[in-house]
């Protein structure tokens, strides 16, 4: 049959589809028709006479593989019998089952699920008699997380802990012992977990040349989707199967590699041409999702990347509306302004086609409260909904008891952390309090010191001022040690959510209104997309999705990029890719929110912020700037680039700090490029200052004012 390449594919897609021999790397920019390209290549191979059984398609979800194979069958008009399509793990499982004796399992092996693995971690911990009586000891899920992250990233547990979970460092030696015991337990009982599937296949292929040759002969054509999301062991498996000159096509986008926390390694796709001899690199740059002004902005974001495949996204979709960069006075007014924007956008689009994106789940908490207050339905993806967070429920239980001492459910939650006080005992205490049984209460208070502390604190709070921020400040101080004890595995992350709760409280004067707004919430429906409900999502959960309008909030240093990412250059690079992913979700409208200050619970005041470096780098030609006035309205400002002073770096001789309002530099940044500094390395020039000074953004170091004599222009 004749496949209609001319009308169905653009020139770059046709090149990728017909490049069937040798290694090929397809750099598929966001919205560039990646799946269509893979599907047509499958159909083209079979149409050219390739036996379907000689094709191997590796994806990251079974659903993706099934969809691609089904679409290829539709193009061909006949079934694709024999094509192997599935995930890395399913392919590994099938291969290992056929060769179980070669990996030391003479009687076969059993594949465990997540729950099985967690239970074995607990059993090993108990066998080693670790953590007995220590209520702060890491839970079985956390133990397994540390073990699996260590394996997938191929780092020591100590290295993972230093980067991601420093608060668990007192348990480092124990976790290492449990990891060793976990591995031994699996060997002794012929058990295999999901990580083992990949590592055992890697070992098998590396050490068994006849099998490796057999598989290379069988799978003459290999295609790997989302190659930027592969980890080190998956990349080795691909190389074993393809050899260095095999017919392997890797499809992906280095600029969308955002899963380092799962073990994904962007170097796999960046180094593909070096690893596979004579690899052909094809770029898919025509975007079918977004209007050109949005792509102009995202192209600028990618310009600042230090290691990348150059690409320039373009579209036939035109618009005379630029993306907006909105500057609220603070993160407290940001929620109100975002709600206003959602209401405005809701007049043009269905609400489920409007999304608000953020770096971390807790950042949407003030917005969730604001939406609930005025009755706008929303659906949240990534992180947890504000009202479902266990630590938020804990804190609210104390406030509920201040307002209503008869709230039995709040008493149950408030006493949950007290050892030896279960639901039945709580009911007895509740009855004694409300019947005046002083003898029983005296007995329980004497027996349980934390109960005495709780009752004393509640009595003190009831007798003081009832301003929400004042009450909450006291409750959080009381709750802090409970938080650490009750949630030892991840209390630093939960703490960030409580900071947001403080910010919400600061805008209330009435305690009843505060608790009422926080308690109102609809039933969550995370599985099915809701009709006419605005989408709230972390950027990670938004990957692969699209909306007519996208709002991105909290684009300031320490929030996006995150504080942790500002400390390491490679982490900042991933944050840049996150920003690119976030912006490319928008089809028609994009709005970036940059609050001028953020609430600081310690001082009870707002601290000034620095805009995200990804916003600072944008030339004034790609966005429209809106500032919140002191009256609460948004005012359009003349196009202006950012030239904010850097408080961390002394100004050069004769240099005066810029005014608070950004000023236009002598040379437009769009005409400036990159430079190199002996200490800070490669950076992007944001602005030229008089007479011979430049403001430069160095990945990993932030904005610096540097005299031109010390810069090498690139």
- Our CA dihedral for 688, 694, 695, 698, rounded to 10 degrees, sits at 130
Amino acid 519: pLDDT: 63
Instruction: Check if the beta carbon of residue 415 is closer than 8 Å to that of residue 454.
Output: yes
Residue pair 694/685 in contact (Cβ under 8 Å)? The answer is yes
Nearest to 552 by CA among 612, 610, 597: 612
Structure tokens at 502: 């403080």
Q: For tokens 């607990």, what's the residue? A: 122
Residue 583 has pLDDT above 90, yes or no: yes
Taken as a whole, the chain contains a residue count of: 714
| pLDDT confidence of residue 223 | 95
Q: What percent of the chain has pLDDT over 90?
A: 45
* pLDDT exceeds cutoff 50 at 347: yes
Predicted local distance difference test score (pLDDT) of residue 518: 72
Long-range CB pairs of 510-514, under 8 A, 24+ apart, other chains included? 510/468, 511/399, 511/402, 511/403, 511/466, 511/467, 511/468, 511/471, 512/403, 514/399, 514/468
Is-contact 161 169, C-beta < 8 A? yes
Residues 6+ apart with CB under 8 A from 404: 410
Residues in binding site for ATP: 28-35
At CA 21, angle to CA 20 and CA 25, rounded to 5? 75
What gap in Å lies between CA 276 and CA 268, rounded to an integer? Answer: 11
Return d(Cα 266, Cα 273) in angstroms, integer.
13
pLDDT at 690 over 70: no
How distant, in Å, are the alpha carbons of 104, 179, 480 from that of 120? Answer: 21, 10, 32
Q: Which strand (E) or helix (H) includes residue 444? A: helix 438-447
Of 133-142, 318-327, 629-638, which has the strongest mean pLDDT?
Answer: 318-327
Is the fold of 11-101+196-286 the same as that of 302-383+528-636?
A: yes
Alpha-carbon span 501 to 482, nearest angstrom: 17
Above 80 in pLDDT, residue 51?
Answer: yes
Q: Which helix (H) or strand (E) holds 355?
A: strand 354-358
Alpha-carbon torsion (124, 129, 130, 134), positive or negative: positive
With residues binned 3-state (H G I as helix, E B as strand, rest as coil), the percentages for the chain, rounded to 5, are 50, 15, 35
Other CB atoms within 10 Å distance of the CB of residue 177 = 14
Q: How far is CA 67 from CA 17, 57, 71, 617, in A?
A: 18, 12, 6, 39
Alpha helix stretches (DSSP H) within 506-621:
511-519, 539-542, 569-583, 613-616
Mind listing the pLDDT tens digit for each residue in 115-132? Answer: 889 999 999 999 999 988
For 557, left (φ over 0), alpha (ψ -120 to 50), or beta? beta
Query: Is the pLDDT score of 322 beyond 90?
Result: yes
How far from 19 is each of 14, 74, 278, 459, CA to CA, in Å?
8, 22, 13, 76
* Confidence check: pLDDT of 216 > 50: yes
The contacts of residue 42 (CB under 8 Å, 6+ apart) are: 55, 57, 68, 69, 72, 80, 83, 223
What is the torsional sign of CA 425, 430, 436, 441? positive
Q: What is the pLDDT of residue 10?
A: 93
**Residue 649 reports pLDDT greater than 80:** no
pLDDT, mean of residues 250-269 = 92
Domain 386-520 has CATH 1.10.486: yes
Using DSSP's 3-state secondary structure scheme, residue 521 falls into coil
CA-to-CA distance for 450 and 662, rounded, in angstroms?
Answer: 53
CATH for 302-383+528-636, among 3.40.1580.10, 3.40.50.300, 2.30.110.10, 3.40.309.10?
3.40.50.300
Give the C-alpha separation, 344 to 487, whole Å.
Answer: 40
Q: Domain 11-101+196-286 - what CATH class?
A: alpha beta
Closest alpha carbon to 683 in 582, 632, 613, 587:
613
Residue 462's pLDDT is what? 82
What mean pLDDT do residues 249-260 have?
Answer: 93
The ranges assigned to domains in the chain are: 11-101+196-286, 111-189, 302-383+528-636, 386-520, 674-713
Q: What Rg, from alpha-carbon coordinates, does the chain have?
A: 28
Q: Select from 227, 283, 278 the least CA-distant residue to 21.
A: 278
Asked whether residue 278 carries a pLDDT value surpassing 70, the answer given is: yes
Express each pLDDT in 534-564 by its tens digit.
999 999 999 989 999 999 999 999 899 988 8
Contact 552, 357 (CB under 8 A): yes
pLDDT for the residue 420: 84
Pairwise CA distance, residues 572 & 556, whole Å: 13
Lowest mean pLDDT among 105-109, 275-279, 327-331, 671-675: 671-675
Residue 702 has pLDDT above 70, yes or no: no
Q: List the helix and strand counts (H, then E) for the chain.
A: 28, 23
């Amino acid at each position: 049959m004749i496949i209609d390449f001319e009308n169905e594919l653009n020139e770059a897609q046709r090149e990728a589809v017909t490049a069937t021999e040798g290694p090929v790397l397809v750099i598929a920019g966001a919205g560039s028709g990646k799946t269509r390209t893979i599907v047509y290549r499958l159909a083209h191979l079979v149409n050219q006479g390739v036996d379907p059984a000689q094709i191997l398609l590796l994806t990251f979800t079974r659903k993706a593989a099934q969809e691609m194979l089904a679409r290829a069958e539709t193009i061909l008009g006949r079934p694709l019998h024999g094509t192997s399509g599935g995930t890395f793990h399913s392919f590994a499982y099938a291969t290992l089952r056929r060769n179980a004796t070669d990996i030391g399992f003479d009687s076969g092996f059993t594949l465990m699920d997540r729950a099985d693995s967690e239970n074995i971690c607990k059993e090993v911990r108990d066998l080693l008699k670790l953590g007995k009586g220590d209520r702060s000891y890491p839970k079985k899920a956390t133990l397994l997380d540390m073990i699996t992250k260590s394996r997938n990233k191929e780092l020591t547990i100590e290295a993972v802990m230093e980067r991601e979970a420093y608060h668990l460092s007192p348990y480092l030696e124990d976790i290492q012992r449990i990891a060793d015991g976990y591995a031994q337990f699996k060997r002794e009982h012929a058990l295999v977990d999901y990580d083992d599937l990949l590592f055992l296949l890697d070992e098998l292929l590396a050490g068994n040349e006849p099998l490796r040759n057999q598989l290379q002969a069988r799978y003459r054509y290999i295609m790997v989707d989302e190659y930027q999301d592969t980890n080190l062991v998956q990349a080795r498996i691909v190389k074993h199967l393809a050899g260095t000159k095999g017919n392997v096509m890797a499809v992906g986008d280095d600029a969308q590699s955002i899963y380092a926390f799962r073990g994904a390694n962007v170097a796999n796709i960046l180094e593909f041409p070096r690893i596979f001899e004579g690899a052909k690199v094809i770029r898919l740059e025509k975007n079918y999702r977004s209007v050109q002004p949005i792509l102009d902005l995202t192209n600028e974001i990618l310009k600042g990347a230090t290691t990348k495949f150059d690409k320039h996204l373009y579209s036939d979709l035109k618009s005379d509306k630029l993306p907006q960069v909105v500057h609220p006075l603070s993160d407290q007014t940001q929620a109100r302004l975002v709600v206003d924007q959602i209401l405005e956008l809701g007049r043009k689009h269905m609400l489920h086609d409007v999304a608000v994106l953020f770096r971390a789940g807790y950042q949407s908490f003030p917005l969730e409260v604001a939406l609930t207050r005025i009755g706008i339905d929303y659906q949240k993806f990534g992180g947890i909904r504000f009202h479902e967070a266990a630590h938020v429920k804990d804190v609210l239980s104390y406030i509920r008891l201040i307002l209503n001492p008869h709230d039995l459910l709040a008493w149950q939650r408030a006493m949950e952390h007290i050892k030896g006080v279960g639901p039945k005992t709580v009911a007895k205490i509740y009855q004694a309090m409300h019947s005046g049984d002083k003898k029983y209460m005296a007995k329980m208070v004497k027996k349980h010191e934390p109960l005495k502390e709780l009752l004393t604190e509640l009595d003190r709070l009831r007798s003081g001022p009832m301003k929400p921020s004042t009450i909450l400040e006291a409750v959080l101080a009381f709750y802090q040690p409970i938080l650490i004890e009750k949630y030892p595995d991840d209390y630093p992350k939960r703490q960030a959510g409580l900071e947001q709760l403080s910010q919400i409280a600061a805008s209330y004067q009435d305690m009843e209104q505060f608790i009422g707004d926080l308690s109102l919430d609809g039933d969550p429906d995370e599985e099915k997309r809701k009709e006419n409900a605005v989408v709230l999502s972390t950027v990670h959960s938004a990957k692969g999705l699209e909306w007519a309008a996208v709002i991105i909030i909290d684009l300031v240093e320490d929030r996006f990029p995150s504080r942790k990412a500002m400390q390491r250059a490679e982490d900042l690079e991933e944050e840049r890719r996150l920003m690119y992913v976030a912006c490319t979700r928008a089809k028609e409208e994009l709005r970036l929110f940059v609050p001028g200050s953020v609430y600081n619970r310690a001082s009870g005041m707002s601290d000034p912020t620095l805009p995200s470096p990804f916003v600072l780098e944008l030339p004034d030609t790609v966005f429209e700037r809106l500032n919140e006035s002191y009256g609460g309205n948004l005012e359009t400002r003349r196009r202006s680039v950012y030239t904010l002073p850097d408080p961390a770096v002394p100004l050069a001789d004769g240099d005066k700090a810029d005014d608070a309002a950004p000023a236009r530099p002598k040379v437009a940044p769009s005409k400036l490029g990159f430079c190199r500094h002996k200490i800070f390395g490669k950076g992007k020039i944001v602005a030229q200052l008089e007479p011979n000074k430049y403001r430069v953004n160095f990945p990993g170091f932030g904005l610096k004012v540097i005299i031109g004599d010390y810069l090498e222009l690139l």
